[in-house]
């Protein structure tokens, strides 16, 4: 199986990426395999068959196991300090690749440890992230993705049954391949600019991948094919814009502005380069994810997705209000409750001494594993306030500006209390998540400023999206609270078809679903002349209700603050 023949097969690409990773250990980071399915199993099995050593790192791994340290249980049993080596050290020693399942749920802390170990030059680590995320928001920590050279999306891949690791004989040492010349480097840099890739790491990875591919084919100089593979495997999946060659290129996102001016002078000064670049850009066309266009028009840029998979349970052993102790080993950051551990051990001392017959002289306390107690803390869960704003024609005319103002003031307050905000707007045919949960004032402000108004009122879609988001937030161990600003007069049904009657039924169903899910909610009536609709909506939702016929943004803000301060205390 050669690289050229399998250009469009994601599974083959993943295998090629794996081969490159093995060719130059420690410099390319790893591979991200997105999408659970048979294709991914095939890839992993092919690597296993080729004799690649792999070490599984479960997402709940604790620091002691990961980095090594004192093995408390064994130390107590044997009466002397027993040390264990960490998984990272073992993997580096055995030259094994770390296999990380459920990478999209990985905590930032674990990602931090891996990155630190990687940047510590002593051990050469590489990893495979098994990313089961489905939504664009569900992805491994950005800091780790940034340092992972190859991103392979296998979610659309067909089942490939006879895959094998491409192995064209023993690869040369990558240090024996000549470095890329200026022309090749410039072509890579220009290709990255055309794809809207601004970071530098992708470029460095692309260079490394090209050299590795050359070494794999025992070439001492990188050829066009090597560059093409590097661009396809490293740069294409990171594209944030379609290259300019494409006819119906979408509007480039704002940061891309500076890429085209840079491109031109280089092109003019060196016409021979253009050809190579075109080849690379063409190579990329096929490999660009199909949903990129959709993502771009939705205003989403993937790299901004916030990742925080750390659950509430794990954290609660670390900080917060003290809540007594429970039996357990002081691992994973849980703190030993020394006094309670001693107290648990004391009653057993005479018995244990008798057991250790002859050694009755000792004044040491004999501790066993089961005596150990760790502290428990009650932590207030992080709060995420979801603003769901009616931006339809009926609401927009009079109240949208005020609603925006209130949200902005709330943002400033949220910034002080360190909770997060998300913003959903609904208008014309459907609802749109304008801002995934974030703490960033800069982004929130931008999303608000860009909020358009007008069109019908798809109230049900807005409520459904708000509930989905709230469910997701709750599943991650944080507390969502909904603030819904609307006049309550939906006229677009959940399926996007107009009609007041169906719309009202759908909206009521959506509101009841929120009630069943048990999310905190607040409905703010922003109609110019308040009717019965918004209060009815609040009742179905089991939500608090505020009618603010003539309020300005400041009053609205005060009302929201008053209403939500009650709820946040309740959650403490």
Partner 1 sequence: MARFPFSAIVGQDEMKQALLIAAIEPAIGGVMVFGDRGTGKSTAARALASLLPPISAVEDCRYGCVAEERGTCPDPCSSKRIRKRPVPFVDLPLGATEDRVIGALDLEKALRAGEKSFEPGLLAKAHRGFLYIDEINLLEDHLVDLLLDVAASGENVVEREGLSVRHRAKFVLIGSGNPEEGELRPQLLDRFGLSVEVRTPTEIDQRVEIMRRCGEQERDPAAFAESWAKEEVKILRQVARGKTKLAKLETPDAIMQDAAELCLAVGADGLRGELTLMRAARAQAALAGAKTVRREHLIAVAPSALRHRLRRDVLDETGSTVRIARAIDELFG
Site for partner 1 in 377-396 (CB under 8 A): none
Of 197, 122, 147, the closest CA to residue 30 belongs to: 147
Residue ranges in 76-135 that form contacts with partner 1 under rule CB under 8 A: 76, 79-81, 107-113, 115-116, 119, 121-122
Which position among 217, 274, 439, 544 is part of the footprint of partner 1 (CB under 8 A)? 439
d(CA 511, CA 531): 18
Q: Is 250 in the site for partner 1 (CB under 8 A)?
A: no
Q: Tell me the C-alpha distance between 79 and 366, whole Å.
A: 9
Site for partner 1 in 287-316 (CB under 8 A): 304, 306, 310
Q: Which residues pair with 364 in a beta bridge?
A: none
Closest to 487 in 3D by CA, of 519, 448, 523: 523
Task: Enumerate the H helices of 437-494 as residue ranges.
Answer: 441-449, 459-475
Which of 352, 445, 512, 544: binder of partner 1 (CB under 8 A)? 445
Distance CA 34, CA 289 (A): 12
HSE value, Cβ hemisphere, 13 Å, CA-based, for 455? 19
- For the CB of residue 28, give the shortest distance to partner 1 in the complex, in Å: 10
3-state SS, residue 324:
strand
Cβ-based burial of 547 (10 A; exposed 0-12, middle 13-18, buried ≥19):
middle
Q: Of 504-543, which residues contact partner 1 (CB under 8 A)? A: none
Q: Which is nearer to partner 1, 147 or 467 (CB)?
A: 147
Q: Determine, following the binding rule CB under 8 A, whether residue 207 of this chain makes contact with partner 1.
A: yes
Q: Considering only the stretches 12-20, 192-200, 228-236, 563-571, report the one whose residues sit in contact with partner 1 under the rule CB under 8 A.
A: 192-200
Measured from the CB of residue 369, what is the shortest distance to partner 1 in angstroms?
10
Closest CA to 426 of 387, 399, 469: 387
Kindly report the backbone phi and psi dihedral angles of residue 120, in degrees, each rounded to the nearest multiple of 5, phi listed first.
Answer: -75, 115
Q: Is 442 in the site for partner 1 (CB under 8 A)?
A: yes
Cβ atoms of residues 30 and 126 within 8 Å: yes
Exactly one of 259, 316, 479, 540 binds partner 1 (CB under 8 A); which one? 259
Q: Residue from 1, 73, 172, 185 that binds partner 1 (CB under 8 A)?
A: 185
- DSSP 8-state secondary structure symbol assigned to residue 178: P
- # residues contacting partner 1 (CB under 8 A): 76
Residue 498 bridge partners (DSSP) = 492
Choose, by CB under 8 A, the member of 90, 262, 291, 495 that binds partner 1.
262
Work out whether 73 is an interface residue with partner 1 (CB under 8 A).
Answer: no
| DSSP class of 160 | -
Report the site for partner 1 in 313-352 (rule: CB under 8 A).
318-319, 330, 333, 335-336, 338
User: C-beta of 436: minimal distance to partner 1 in Å?
Assistant: 12
Q: Which stretch binds partner 1 (CB under 8 A): 37-45, 142-150, 291-299, 536-544?
A: 142-150
Q: Is residue 186 part of the contact set for partner 1 (CB under 8 A)?
A: yes
**Ramachandran region, residue 488 (left: φ > 0; alpha: ψ -120 to 50; beta: rest):** left
CB of residue 203 to partner 1, shortest distance in Å: 5
Closest approach of partner 1 to the CB of residue 567, in Å: 21
Among positions 2, 143, 220, 565, the unique one binding partner 1 when judged by CB under 8 A: 143
Instruction: Please identify which residue in 200, 245, 286, 561 interacts with partner 1, judged by CB under 8 A.
Output: 200
DSSP 234: I
Q: Which range binds partner 1 by CB under 8 A, 432-440, 479-487, 492-500, 514-522? A: 432-440
Query: Any contact of residue 558 with partner 1 (CB under 8 A)?
Result: no
- CB nearer to partner 1: give 39 or 193: 193
As measured in angstroms, the least distance from the Cβ of 27 to partner 1 is: 5
Quote the distance between the C-alpha of residue 571 and its chain's center. 26
| Residue 198 makes contact with partner 1 by CB under 8 A | yes
Q: Which long-range contacts (CB under 8 A, 24 or more apart) does 561-564 make?
A: 561/410, 561/413, 563/522, 564/385, 564/481, 564/483, 564/522
In the bound state with partner 1, the residue whose beta carbon lies nearer, of 163 and 329, is: 329
Instruction: Give the residue from 208, 213, 206, 212 showing the smallest Cα distance to 191.
Output: 206
**Minimum distance of partner 1 from residue 334's CB (angstroms):** 9
CB of 412 to partner 1, least distance (A): 5
Radius of gyration of the chain (CA): 29
Map residue 110 onto helix, strand or coil. helix
């Amino acid at each position: 199986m050669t690289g050229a023949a399998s250009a469009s097969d994601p599974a083959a690409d993943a295998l090629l990426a794996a081969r490159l990773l093995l060719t130059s250990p420690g410099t390319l980071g790893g591979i991200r395999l997105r999408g659970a399915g048979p294709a991914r199993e095939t890839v992993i099995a092919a690597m296993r068959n080729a004799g690649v050593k792999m070490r599984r790192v479960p997402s709940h791994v604790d620091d002691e196991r990961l980095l090594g340290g004192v093995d408390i249980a064994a130390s107590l049993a044997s009466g002397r300090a027993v040390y264990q080596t960490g998984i990272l050290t073992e993997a580096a020693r055995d030259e094994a690749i770390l296999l990380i399942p459920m990478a999209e749920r990985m905590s930032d802390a674990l990602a931090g440890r891996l990155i630190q170990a990687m940047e510590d030059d002593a051990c050469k680590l590489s990893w495979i992230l098994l990313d089961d995320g489905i939504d664009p928001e569900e992805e491994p920590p950005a800091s780790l993705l940034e340092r992972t050279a190859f991103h392979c999306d296998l979610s659309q891949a067909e089942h490939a049954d006879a895959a094998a690791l491409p192995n064209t004989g023993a690869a040369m040492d990558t240090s024996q391949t000549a470095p890329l010349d200026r022309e090749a480097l410039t072509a890579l840099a220009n290709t990255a600019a055309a794809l809207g890739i601004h970071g530098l790491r992708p470029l460095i990875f692309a260079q490394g991948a090209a050299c590795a591919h050359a070494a794999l084919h025992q070439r001492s100089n990188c050829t066009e094919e090597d560059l093409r593979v590097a661009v396809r495997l490293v740069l294409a999946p990171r594209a944030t814009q379609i290259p300019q060659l494409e006819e119906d290129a979408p509007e480039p996102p704002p940061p891309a502005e500076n890429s085209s001016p840079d491109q031109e002078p280089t092109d003019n000064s060196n016409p021979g380069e253009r050809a190579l670049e075109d080849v690379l850009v063409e190579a990329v066309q096929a490999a660009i994810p199909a949903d990129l266009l959709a993502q771009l028009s939705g205003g989403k840029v993937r790299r901004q997705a916030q990742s925080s998979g750390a659950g509430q349970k794990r954290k609660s052993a670390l900080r917060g209000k003290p809540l007594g102790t429970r039996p357990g080993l002081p691992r994973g950051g849980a703190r030993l409750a020394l006094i309670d551990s001693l107290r648990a051990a004391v009653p057993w001392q005479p018995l244990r001494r008798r057991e250790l017959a002859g050694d009755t002289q000792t004044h040491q306390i004999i501790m066993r594993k089961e005596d150990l107690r760790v502290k428990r803390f009650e932590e207030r869960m992080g709060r995420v306030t979801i603003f769901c704003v009616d931006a339809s024609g009926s609401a927009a005319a009079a109240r949208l500006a005020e609603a925006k103002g209130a949200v902005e003031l709330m943002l400033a307050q949220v910034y002080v209390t360190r909770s997060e905000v998300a913003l959903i707007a609904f208008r014309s045919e459907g609802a749109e998540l304008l801002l995934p949960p974030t703490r960033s004032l800069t982004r929130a402000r931008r999303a608000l400023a860009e909020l358009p108004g007008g069109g019908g009122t798809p109230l049900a879609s807005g409520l459904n999206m708000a509930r989905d988001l709230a469910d997701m937030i709750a599943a991650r161990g944080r507390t969502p609270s909904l603030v819904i600003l609307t006049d309550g007069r939906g006229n677009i049904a959940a399926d996007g078809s107009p009609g007041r009657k169906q719309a009202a039924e759908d909206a009521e169903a959506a509101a009841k679903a929120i009630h069943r899910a048990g999310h905190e909610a607040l409905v703010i009536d922003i109609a110019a002349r308040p009717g019965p609709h918004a209060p009815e909506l609040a009742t179905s939702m089991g939500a608090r209700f505020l009618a603010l016929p003539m309020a300005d943004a400041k009053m609205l803000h005060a009302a929201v603050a008053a209403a939500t301060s009650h709820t946040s205390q309740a959650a403490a």
